[in-house]
């Protein structure tokens, strides 16, 4: 009897404590740099929902690879949102994210985009397909996939584009080697890549549609074309296994896939992962769109193309001067 009344007493005397504990939930979001504005709108939207009522956030935005390495080195994170899946799988290997992170109906993804060609005003060299990039005198700007993880999307888009055009895998690799001979600048990040292009270098810059749209929204003179065959970029999100607030973190991730949240992403230039939120926005379908699975899936692709010593790209880039 005494125990029960003590509990009752405590519950009555300290209701504030109970409510305060819920109000004190602070989620740490560690994300790559581009969706900063999007999350700036998404977090308040989440906090207006019942699930997000008493949740506050600490936010961190930086280059995707750098952020992933920071989390691996101990940066506290409840939700991680990166530019490409390998930045999350490296955390799985360090037991910071559960291997089942992508076992949901979205395969762990929260936004999408495509690889596009950013071109000069009016596209004077008429660059529309991957084959066009090999025309004599065409100068390409693309980050080096070894100094910018995101640039791996560009390489796989080119490779898959060659496959879609009917080439065999060997021929497609030759295509990559030929294409790389046209590369005249290899900026260290996508943002620097756009800067390099806008400063006057090159005829085409390989970019992601969401970043090109974001630049346009910020009054940059960016024009782009989407090749018929291009890769579907998918940006992953996960709750860490070290999170102290897994329930609220999952609630946040679930929220991000609801229609209102996806609409906000779409307004920021991302292709959504759900249907029915793109009214008034332009995300053209591409007839020969393919995913990373078409070219082998990330684990195979990482080893085959991007191994620092034996990868196809290591050989192409590591011998381009001789």
Partner 1 sequence: MTGRYAVRFASLAYLAVLLAAPVGYVFWRTFEHGFSPAWHAVTAPDALHALKVTLILACIAVPLNTIFGVLAALAIVRHRFPGAGVFNAVVDLPLALSPVVVGLALLILYGRGGWLGGHGVVFAVPGMVLATIFVSLPFVVREVVPVLREIGTEQEQAAATLGASAVQTFWRVTWPAIRWATAYGVVLTTARALGEFGAVSVVSGHLAGQTESLTLYVQDRYQSFDEVGAYASAVVLALIAVATLVLMTTLKPKEETR
Partner 2 sequence: MAARADALALPRARRSAAPGLGIGLSTLYLSVIVLLPLAALAWRAHGWDAIGSDQAVAALKLTLFASFAVALINAVAGTAIAWTLVRDRFFGQSFVNALVDLPFALPTIVAGLTLLALYGPKSPAAVDVAFTRWAVVLALLFVTLPFVVRTVQPVLLELDTEMEDAAASLGASRVATFRRVILPNILPAILSGVALAFARAVGEFGAVVLISGNLPFKTEVASVYVFGRIESGDPGGAAAASVVILGISFGVLLAIGGVRRWATRHDR
Whole-Å CA distances, 20 to 12, 49, 53, 306: 14, 18, 12, 49
Helix axes 151-164, 298-306, angle to 10 degrees: 100
Picked from partner 2, partner 1, none, the partner binding residue 36 (CB below 5 to 8 A depending on kind) is: partner 1
- Residue partners of 274: CB distance under 8 A and separation at least 6: 257, 258, 259, 262
- Does 69 interact with partner 2 (rule: CB under 8 A)? yes
Q: Which stretch binds partner 1 (CB under 8 A): 7-15, 101-109, 153-161, 215-223?
A: 215-223
Q: Give the chain's end-to-end CA distance (angstroms, integer).
A: 86
Q: In b/e form, how buried is each residue of 59-89, taking b as 16+ CB within 10 angstroms?
A: ebbbbbbebbebbeeebebbbbbbbbbbbbb
Nearest-approach distance from CB 16 to partner 1, in angstroms: 27
Asked if residue 58 binds partner 1 (CB under 8 A), the reply is: yes
Binding residues for partner 1, total number by CB under 8 A: 25
Our CB check for partner 2 shows the closer of 159 and 306 to be: 306
Q: In whole angstroms, what is the distance from residue 108 CA to residue 292 CA?
A: 14
Q: Does the footprint of partner 2 cover residue 235 (CB under 8 A)?
A: no
Q: Pull the structure tokens for residue 294.
A: 């078409």
Interacting residue with partner 2 among 67, 83, 113, 148 (CB under 8 A): 148
For the record, the structure tokens of 292 come out as 């990373």
The reply on whether position 318 binds partner 2 by CB under 8 A is yes
Q: Which does 61 bind (CB under 5 to 8 A by kind): partner 2, partner 1, none?
A: partner 1
Which residue number, 122 or 321, has a Cβ lying nearer to partner 2? Answer: 321
C-alpha to C-alpha distances, 43 to 51, 61, 110, 260, nearest whole angstrom: 12, 14, 15, 12
Distance CA(40)–CA(59), nearest Å, equals 9
- Identity of the residue, 58 or 147, whose beta carbon is nearer to partner 2 in the bound complex: 147
Residue 152 is a binding residue for partner 1 (CB under 8 A): no
Q: To 10 degrees, what angle do helices 169-181 and 151-164 make? A: 130
Query: Of partner 1, partner 2, none, which one sits near residue 284, judging by CB under 5 to 8 A according to partner kind?
Result: none
- Decide: is 265 part of the binding site for partner 1 (CB under 8 A): no
Q: Which of residues 171-200 bind partner 2 (CB under 8 A)?
A: 183-188, 192, 195-196, 199-200
* Number of C-beta neighbours around residue 15 at 10 A: 10
Among 33, 47, 107, 144, binds partner 2 (CB under 8 A): 144
As a residue count, the chain comes to 322
Residues that bind partner 1 in the complex, under the rule CB under 8 A: 30, 33-34, 36-37, 58-62, 66-67, 69-70, 72-76, 191, 214-215, 218-220
Residues that bind partner 2 in the complex, under the rule CB under 8 A: 65, 69, 90, 144-149, 183-188, 192, 195-196, 199-201, 306, 308-309, 317-322
């Amino acid at each position: 009897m005494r125990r029960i009344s003590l509990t009752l007493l405590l519950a009555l005397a300290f209701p504030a404590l109970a409510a305060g504990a819920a109000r004190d939930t602070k989620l740490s979001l560690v994300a790559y740099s581009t969706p900063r504005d999007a999350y700036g709108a998404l977090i308040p939207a989440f906090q207006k929902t019942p699930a997000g009522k008493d949740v506050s956030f600490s936010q961190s935005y930086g280059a995707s690879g750098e952020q992933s390495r920071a989390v691996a080195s101990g940066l506290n994170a409840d939700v991680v949102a990166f530019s490409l899946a390998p930045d999350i799988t490296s955390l799985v290997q360090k037991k910071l994210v559960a291997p089942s992170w992508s076992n949901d109906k979205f395969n762990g993804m929260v936004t999408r985009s495509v690889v596009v060609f950013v071109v000069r005003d009016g596209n004077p060299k008429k660059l529309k397909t991957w084959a066009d990039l090999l025309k004599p005198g065409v100068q390409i700007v693309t980050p080096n996939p070894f100094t910018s993880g995101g640039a791996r999307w560009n390489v796989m888009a080119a490779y898959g584009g060659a496959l879609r055009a009917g080439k065999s895998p060997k021929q497609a690799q030759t295509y990559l080697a030929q294409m790389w001979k046209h590369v005249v600048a290899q900026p260290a990040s996508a943002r620097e890549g756009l800067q390099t292009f806008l400063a006057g270098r090159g005829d085409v810059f390989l970019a992601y549609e969401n970043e090109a749209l974001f630049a346009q929204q910020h009054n940059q003179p960016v024009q782009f074309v989407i090749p018929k065959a291009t890769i579907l970029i998918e940006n992953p999100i996960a709750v860490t296994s070290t999170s102290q607030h897994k329930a609220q973190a999952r609630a946040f991730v679930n929220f991000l896939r609801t229609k209102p949240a996806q609409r906000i992403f779409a307004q920021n230039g991302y292709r959504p992962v759900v249907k029915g939120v793109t009214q008034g926005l332009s995300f053209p379908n591409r007839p020969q769109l393919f995913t990373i699975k078409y070219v082998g899936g990330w684990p195979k692709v990482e080893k085959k193309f991007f191994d620092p010593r034996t990868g196809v790209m290591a050989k192409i880039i590591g011998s381009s001067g001789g």
